[in-house]
């Protein structure tokens, strides 16, 4: 995710949040429980927020009269959103890699 080594011995779903120490959280299970459904909902919200943020960024940058503080705030939010979406992509990619092929 951010260049740190990954523990590939963990056989679980990468969750869309981190622990208090910033380390990734994993869920081991069949993907049908409450935490798995909650993770699905959070991932959907994160993707939707990223989409809306991109639209806002396009509008803001089209104005051409943006302050450095506004650009800084936008860059912070885009960075957070990108980090979330990368985690979702990694989680779903790992899930797809484990899924049996037809």
Q: What is the pLDDT of residue 102?
A: 60
Per-residue pLDDT of the chain (102 residues; tens, 9 = 90+): 444 444 444 458 889 999 999 899 998 887 789 999 999 999 999 999 999 999 999 999 998 899 999 999 999 999 999 999 999 998 888 766 666 656
pTM assigned to the model: 0.74
Enclosing H/E stretch for 31:
none
Give the span between the Cα atoms of 58 and 62, in whole angstroms. 6
Q: What pLDDT is recorded for position 67?
A: 94
3-state secondary structure of 78: helix
How far, in Å, CA of 78 to CA of 70, rounded? 12
Token output for 47? 């993707």
pLDDT of residue 35: 92
Report pLDDT for 81.
Answer: 96
């Amino acid at each position: 995710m951010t260049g740190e080594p990954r523990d590939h011995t963990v056989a679980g779903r990468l969750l869309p949040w981190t622990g208090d120490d910033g380390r990734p959280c994993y869920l081991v299970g069949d993907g049908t429980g409450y935490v798995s459904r909650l993770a699905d909902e959070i991932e959907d919200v994160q993707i939707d927020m990223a989409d809306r943020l991109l639209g806002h960024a396009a509008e803001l940058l089209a104005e051409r009269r943006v302050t450095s503080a506004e650009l800084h705030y936008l860059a912070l939010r885009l960075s957070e959103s990108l980090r979330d979406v990368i985690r979702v992509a990694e989680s779903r990619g790992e899930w797809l890699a484990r899924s049996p092929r037809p």
